[in-house]
Amino acid sequence: MTSKPAGDETADLTKAIQEGGNSPIDLTRTLEAFLAKYPQSTQRGQIMLILARAAIDLKDDRRIVKYGEQALAASPDDMLILDRVARSLLALGGKENAGTSLNFSRAFERNIRKAPPPTGADAARRQDDRDRGLARALVYQSRAQAILENKKEAERLAGEAFQAYPSEETARAWSEALQANGRLQEAIESLADAFAVPDARALEADRSADRQKLGELYRKRHHNEKGLGDLILAAYDRTSAMVKEREKRLVALDPNLAATDPLQFRLTGLDGKALTLADLKGSVVILDFWATWCQPCRIQHPLYEKVKERFKDRRDVVFLSIDTDEDHSRVEPFLDQQKWSKTVYFEDGLQRLLQVTSIPTTVLFDKQGRVASRMNGFLPGNFVEQLSERIQNALDEK
C-alpha cells in the first residue's frame, strides 16, 4: 500500500508546481530540484509523467528518454510518451539506444493495432491519426533495425510504413532502406515519391533536401538528369492516386471530412436518415446543441419549445435539435424518459467546425446560410424573447 507523502513534501511539491506554472522550462527546473530533495517521493511516478511531457514540449531528447522511460514503467500504454521516447532514442544514436527504441516502438505499434476501429463522430480524423501513428511506429522500427544492421528487415518495415500512410517521411525512410540494400533504382523512385507525394505536413526545407538528394542519386545511376522530370511526374501521379484512394476510405467513415462550410455538412438523424444542411438554404435555421448529461439543457428545453411554438406557422424557419453525446446509444432512452421529440440529429463533426465548446449553445443561420447569431449558454429569464428577436431579425433581413 502506497503511503501518503509527508506534509513538508506535499507542500514543497505544490510549491514546485505553482512556481513552474505553464512554462515547461521552469516546471522542469522546479521539479528536478524537488526530486533532488525527495528522491524517494511517493509521487515520483506522477512527477516523471509531468517531466516527460515537459521534455516533449521542449523537444529535449535526453530528458524525454530519461523521464519518459521511468514514466512508462508506471504507465506502459501512454501513447504520446511511447511515440516520443522511441523517436528520441534514435536521435540520441547508438546500437543500445536503437535496441531500446525497437522495444518501445513495437509496444507503440501493438497498442495501435489492438485498438478498436474508430466509429461515430470524428471517426475519419481518428482513423487518420491512427494510421499516421502506425506509420511512425514502423519507421522507428525500420531505422532501429538499420542501426542494428538488419538491412532487409529495415527495408520491409519502411515499405510497410509507406503503405500504411503514404507521406514524405515514410517514402524517404523507404528510399534510405532500399539504398542501404543496394537497390538504387528503387531508392530513386521512392525518393521521387517523397518529393512528389501530396503531404500538407511536409516542410519546404525537407522537400528541397529530397530534391537535392534525388538529383544526386539519379546522376549517380544515369550520369545526368535526363528523364528525371518524367520520373517525378510519374511519382506524382502514383502518389496522388494513393492519397485519393486513402481519402475515399476516410470519407466512407465520415462524409463531412472535407467540409469547410456548415452547409456542406450532412447530419445523421436518430432514425438513421441523413439531412444535408444545404437543402435548408433559404430558411432561417436554428441549431440547438445539447447533450443528455447537460442539466442546463433540460432547463432550456421547455423555453426552446416556446420559441418553436411562436414560429410554427413559418415554413422558412427550421429548428434542428443537435445531440453532442459521444455515446449515441444513450440518446433514445433519454428522449423517451424526458418525453422529448425524437426528431434529433447527431453533430457529426459540425460541433468542431462551429467551435461549439460549451453546452447548451444555440447557433442561428440566416437565409444565405451564414451564422447570424450565436448564444453560448442561456439566461432563463429572457431566453425566449432574446432568441425570438434574433430569429425575427434574420427573417426581416433582405
* Domain boundaries, given as residue ranges, for the chain: 7-188+198-205, 262-396
Q: Tell me, what's the pLDDT at 3?
A: 47
CATH hierarchy code of domain 262-396: 3.40.30.10
Q: Does residue 317 contact residue 395 with C-beta atoms inside 8 Å?
A: yes
pTM: 0.75
Provide the phi-psi class of 165: left if phi over 0, else alpha when psi is between -120 and 50, else beta: beta
- Written as one letter, the residue type at 8 is D
Q: Tell me, what's the pLDDT at 6?
A: 61
Burial class (CB in 10 A: 0-12, 13-18, 19+), 357: exposed
pLDDT tens profile 185-235:
999 999 999 999 999 889 999 999 999 999 999 999 999 999 999 999 999
Report how far residue 292's alpha carbon sits from residue 269's, in angstroms, rounded to the nearest whole number: 16
**Residue 192: which of 164, 221, 157, 149 has the closest Cα?**
221
Q: Is 323 helix (H, G, I), strand (E, B) or coil?
A: strand
Rg of the chain over Cα atoms, rounded to whole angstroms, equals: 27
**Residue 286: which of 375, 352, 355 has the closest Cα?**
375
Q: Which three cell numbers stand for residue 396?
A: 426581416
DSSP-based helix, strand, coil % in the chain, nearest 5: 65, 10, 30
Phi (first) and psi of residue 344, to 5 degrees: -130, 145
Q: Does residue 170 contact residue 162 with C-beta atoms inside 8 Å?
A: yes
Give the start-end residues of each E strand in the chain: 266-268, 274-276, 284-290, 317-323, 344-346, 361-365, 371-376
Q: Does residue 331 contact residue 347 with C-beta atoms inside 8 Å?
A: no
Q: Tell me, what's the pLDDT at 1?
A: 38
Low-confidence ranges of the chain (pLDDT < 50): 1-4
CATH hierarchy code of domain 7-188+198-205: 1.25.40.10
At residue 46's C-alpha, the angle toward residues 44 and 126, to 5°, is 150
Q: Are strands 344-346 and 317-323 parallel, antiparallel or unpaired?
A: parallel
By residue count, the chain amounts to: 398
Q: Tell me, what's the pLDDT at 121?
A: 65
